[in-house]
Amino acid sequence: MQRPDARGYFGSGFGGKFVPEVLVEAISELERGMDAAFADPAFWSEYHAILRDFVGRPSPIMEASRFTGSDGATLVFKREDLNHTGAHKINNTVGQGLLAKRMGKTRIIAETGAGQHGVATATIGAKLGIPVDVYMGALDVERQSLNVYVMRLLGATVHAVQGGTRTLKDATNEAFREWAARAPDTFYIIGSVVGAHPYPYMVREFQKVIGIEARAQMLERYGRLPTDVVACVGGGSNAMGIFAGFADDPSVRLWGVEASGHGLHAVDTAASLNAGSIGVLHGSRSYLLQTPEGQVRNTHSISAGLDYPGVGPEHAHLKASGRATYVSATDDEALAAFHACAETEGIVPALESAHALSYARTLARERGPDGLVLVNLSGRGDKDTRQVGELEAASGRSATLAGAR
Ligand SMILES: *Cc1c(COP(=O)(O)O)cnc(C)c1O
């Protein structure tokens, strides 16, 4: 998997650095700091030591035979849900937190939607002793009060952003403004493979540990590579992380699963690669959900972590080159997989991950006994149980929906 060119483009013109003048120097300073750190073995040994002792890596792989049912391919979960704080996001915040420290920054800022990236950032801020300010839409602050409380427990300051729709894109705009105002002492930790160069590349390099571990684990346990690798795609960081381990193995098919909400052709969707078009959002050129006039559309997914109108530029490149294939799962399909995974494997998955599980199970059944399908279980679902319970109580459905599978 390649590094983007000097202007930050992956292959066919996706990526770049679309930032206002005031951020040009901050972006260059970040790129210089990143290059120096990436070339320094001491940086990587500190990163790997924290992943081992604090995050609990390597995360195991696990065969999920009851979830797949009989006669299908072998389906294997990569257990990112077992990481400290319950998802893959911590791999990235550990890396960027260490980079902030190395660059002498005395303050970290982050944007968050549902609060998962805010919690992962507050966690590494506490661990490294660097103060953290989190920007969050005021509506999200109300909806995600538990995560707001956890961030505060960890010592972070949470700012409720009042502008616009009072959600993630407004929080992101505010975080960029804050960075522009205080770039000399502030490090901005972005939560996915999105934003201006070098963020998409840098975040992929910090999440690549997932794919490198998984490749070695598959070879050790099965003596061969998987036939297919599947991951959900919001901004795209857990998918880029696991894909990166297999990108140079042409026999391995890569599948990204977007959230189509109420359906790909519905107004209520979040599938940028499948239902969007090319444009610029948050500093880079990629696919996004926009109106014909170029206004960013409101998105919908049952899972907050996939409810984003854009997608990382490297995914746009992998789609254009044909190296990866992007499919989608609806809210209902994700819910069915959420229940089935809980009932058959004893794991309550994150709703984000349930989108990947839904497609992986379909694929495993298609592939037949010779298939070996690896799916990234990006996070655990404790955070989602209340939402699912309330939703199903309201629609009169019972908790044992898995029978519908
Ligand atoms: C945030 C989140 C995602 C979506 O983010 P990506 O950058 O697309 O990986 C997926 N799964 C979980 C558990 C998350 O918390």
CA of 240, closest atom in ligand 1 = 9
> Over the stretch 105-144, which tens digit does the pLDDT of each residue have?
999 999 999 899 999 999 999 999 999 999 999 999 998 8
Question: What proportion of the chain, given as a percentage, has pLDDT over 90?
Answer: 85
At 399 the pLDDT is: 57
User: Is the minimum distance from the CB of 350 to ligand 1 under 6 angstroms?
Assistant: yes
Residue 402's pLDDT band (cuts 50, 70, 90): very low
In the reported structure, the alpha carbon of residue 404 is separated from the centroid of ligand 1 by a whole-number distance in angstroms of 26
- Residue 276 forms part of a structural domain: yes
At 37 the pLDDT is: 98
Q: How far is CA 84 from CA 124, 379, 380, in A?
A: 11, 10, 11
* Beta carbons of 231 and 247 less than 8 angstroms apart: no
Q: For residue 119, give its domain range.
A: 18-52+89-203
Residue that is last in its domain, among 179, 203, 227:
203
Tell me: do 26 and 119 sit in the same domain.
yes
Tell me: do 35 and 118 sit in the same domain.
yes
- Residue 2 forms part of a structural domain: no
Tell me: do 73 and 41 sit in the same domain.
no
Residue type, 81: D
Helices (H), 235-312: 237-244, 272-275
- Residue 4 forms part of a structural domain: no
Q: How far is CA 178 from the centre of its chain?
A: 23
Q: What is the CATH number of the domain that holds 234?
A: 3.40.50.1100
Tell me: do 233 and 327 sit in the same domain.
yes
Tally of structural domains, the chain: 2
* Burial track 264-301 (b if 16+ CB lie within 10 A, e otherwise): eeeeebbbbbbbbeebebbbbbbbbbbeeeeebbebbb
3-state secondary structure of 135: strand
> Over the stretch 211-264, which tens digit does the pLDDT of each residue have?
999 999 999 999 999 999 999 999 999 999 999 999 999 999 999 999 999 998
- Is omega for the bond preceding 131 within 30 degrees of 0, making it cis? no
Has 89 been annotated as catalytic?
A: yes
User: Is the minimum distance from the CB of 301 to ligand 1 under 6 angstroms?
Assistant: no
Tell me: do 94 and 219 sit in the same domain.
no
User: Is the minimum distance from the CB of 378 to ligand 1 under 6 angstroms?
Assistant: yes
370 contacts: CB under 8 Å, gap ≥ 6: 73, 227
Question: What proportion of the chain, given as a percentage, has pLDDT over 70?
Answer: 98
Residue 398's pLDDT band (cuts 50, 70, 90): low
pLDDT at 405 over 60: no
Tell me which of 119, 306, 359, 385 to substitute to probe ligand 1's pocket, judged by most ligand atoms within 8 Å of the beta carbon: 306
Residue that is last in its domain, among 162, 183, 203:
203
User: Is the minimum distance from the CB of 87 to ligand 1 under 6 angstroms?
Assistant: yes
Q: With CA atoms as reference, report the closest residue to 282 among 352, 208, 201, 200.
A: 200
User: Is the minimum distance from the CB of 125 to ligand 1 under 6 angstroms?
Assistant: no
Tell me: do 191 and 216 sit in the same domain.
no
